[in-house]
Amino acid sequence: MTTTPVNVTVTGAAGQIGYALLFRIASGQLLGPDTPVSLRLLEIPQGVKAAEGTAMELDDCAFPLLAGIDIFDDARQGFDGANVALLVGARPRSKGMERGDLLEANGGIFGPQGEAINAGAADDVKVLVVGNPANTNALIAQRHAPDVPAERFTAMTRLDHNRALHQLATKAGVAVNEVERLTIWGNHSATQYPDIFHARVGGRAATDVVDEAWLESEFIPTVAKRGAAIIEARGLSSAASAANAAIDHVHDWVTGTQGEGWTSAAIVSDGSYGVPEGLISSFPVRARDGRWEIVQGLEVNDFSRAKIDASVAELVEERDAVQQLGLV
């Protein structure tokens, strides 16, 4: 067992995702059963008392891997020494809003947090942005952290990926672990493109198992609009599934993805697949030695090209909007 605890900073610790996330991190599901963790919870002043309550409950679980909990309302302190930073704290959308509507409300949070990461996080810091609009918030944070390698800033599309796995597996009548090589491209928004053209279902090409009409009229809209459907049903945005996806993303990043399959994550584009360099866009990715790599060489047909381009165009618009707001 490693003895030095890994510092995990979680922002928005008193929120609904925070509540679903912290117990799983403390139990070892984020970094594995041999790695002790020290939690650093960052909240706004009004959230500190509730975060203290959550910390009391974490204590009461007597998790063997939980080496300590500290609570902050100051970003510089919260990110000091952070090895893993989960940027969850932000306002969620409510019924009728698109995630992009949160740009102005939430964008202002991520510049100062990027600066704080730049100032004091550990040299190996890995950042996952969950707060919406996640891709562009990650871009804002990254641009405020010039001394941290850009590739350490990522945004979460793993929830979309997991949603897509479930939808395709259910349609094909197989277990989720029989579905592989799905990809979420682009933005974590209704323009995202869940791509099954390279996917395998029980060893067969997914396109041989499901028809194109289902793909276009059911699968893509169901996955892309699932967040809104959850809000409609629960009256609140998804929380436990979002926390689960954050665990999956960081666990894979740290411990590596298995074999030749892949997952999806929004990472800084190197220009692959025509996505402008520097945008934080979702790609098919594998994790090796603590780094995400974009899966190369996939053929992109005309249908996919148009969908990827549309989502990337939205990312460009969001980037331009935050530039105009002076956030980057």
Ligand X SMILES: NC(=O)C1=CN([C@@H]2O[C@H](COP(=O)(O)OP(=O)(O)OC[C@H]3O[C@@H](n4cnc5c(N)ncnc54)[C@H](O)[C@@H]3O)[C@@H](O)[C@H]2O)C=CC1
Decide whether 137 or 237 has the Cβ nearer to ligand OAA.
237
Distance of CA 208 to the CA centre of its chain: 30
Q: What is the smallest separation between the CB atom of 26 and ligand X, expressed in angstroms? A: 17
Q: Any binding-site annotation on 162?
A: no
Residues paired with residue 9 on neighbouring β-strands, in sequence order: 40, 85
Q: Any binding-site annotation on 17?
A: yes
Q: What is the smallest separation between the CB atom of 295 and ligand OAA, expressed in angstroms? A: 23
Q: What is the smallest separation between the CB atom of 132 and ligand OAA, expressed in angstroms? A: 5
Binding of ligand X by 10 (CB under 6 A): no
Q: Which of 144, 161, 188, 249 is catalytic?
A: 188
CA–CA distance, 254 with 235 (Å, rounded to integer): 34
Among ligand X, ligand OAA, none, residue 230 binds (CB under 5-8 Å by kind): ligand OAA
Q: Any binding-site annotation on 132?
A: yes
Question: 201 and 174 in contact (C-beta within 8 Å)?
Answer: yes
Other Cβ atoms less than 10 A from the Cβ of 94: the count is 11
CA–CA distance, 136 with 44 (Å, rounded to integer): 21
Other Cβ atoms less than 10 A from the Cβ of 95: the count is 9
Q: Which of 93, 126, 161, 286 binds ligand X (CB under 6 A)?
A: 93
Q: Which of 237, 269, 281, 304 binds ligand X (CB under 6 A)?
A: 237
Q: Any binding-site annotation on 67?
A: no
Among ligand X, ligand OAA, none, residue 186 binds (CB under 5-8 Å by kind): none
Q: Which stretch binds ligand X (CB under 6 A): 41-49, 62-70, 143-151, 168-176?
A: 41-49
**Rg of the chain in Å (alpha carbons):** 19
Other Cβ atoms less than 10 A from the Cβ of 68: the count is 11
For residue 216, what are the contacts with CB-CB under 8 A and spacing of at least 6? Answer: none
Helix or strand run (H / E) with residue 283:
strand 280-288
Tokens 């893509």 appear where?
220
Binding of ligand X by 188 (CB under 6 A): yes
Q: Which stretch binds ligand X (CB under 6 A): 42-50, 57-65, 161-169, 195-203?
A: 42-50
For 96, phi then psi, to 5°, come to 90, -10
* Interface ranges with ligand X (CB under 6 A): 11-12, 14-18, 42-44, 47, 88-93, 109, 130-132, 134, 156, 159, 188, 237-239, 242
| Catalytic residue list | 188
